Amino acid sequence: MNKREKVCHYLFQKSAEPYAKLFKKKQLAWNLTANDLLKYPQDTLGYKVGVFLSSNGFEFFPKHETHDVFHVITDYGITVKEEIGLQYLLYGNGKRSVYLYLVLFLGFILLPEHYSFYLQSYRKGKSIELFYQKVNKDFLHKKIKEI
């Protein structure tokens, strides 16, 4: 990671909890661990998210669970470039939030070398069926083939 990516990574880590406290007060945490998800049938989204979490040494961050589900659905990794690209994809898919706008701006200003990837991600989000609003805890039971 270069210094600019390290700044972005640091800001992502430090902003998640305050953002949840300010903007997700009414949202309930899913209270699931990676091990809980690995108990889902192997052909489900829940299982795939469990694999994603455990293979990266992660657990769900309370009230941000859909973010990790988005990674699995879109097949975006966890590099800073892909984290920002995922937000561009979600923006293209219609998602709007304060956090999303901040990440878009941050990526645009600090990592201009990835503009073409961001634009590609935005276009991908516009071209696929609206999905970001559909993702919830019950979605984890869906078969990957259905998604």
Sign of the Cα torsion 40, 45, 46, 49 reads: positive
pLDDT on residue 8:
92
Dihedral, 26, 13, 56, 5 alpha carbons, nearest 10: 140
pLDDT in tens, the chain (147 residues): 899 999 999 999 899 888 888 888 888 999 999 999 999 999 999 999 999 999 999 999 999 999 999 999 999 999 999 999 999 999 999 999 999 999 999 999 999 999 999 999 999 999 999 998 999 999 999 998 887
pLDDT on residue 30:
97
Buried b (16+ CB within 10 A) or exposed e, 84-93: bbbbbbbbbb
Please tell me the distance from the alpha carbon of residue 36 to that of residue 31, in angstroms, as a whole number. 9
Helices (H), the chain: 3-23, 34-37, 45-55, 65-74, 80-92, 98-110, 115-127
Is pTM beyond 0.85? Reply is yes
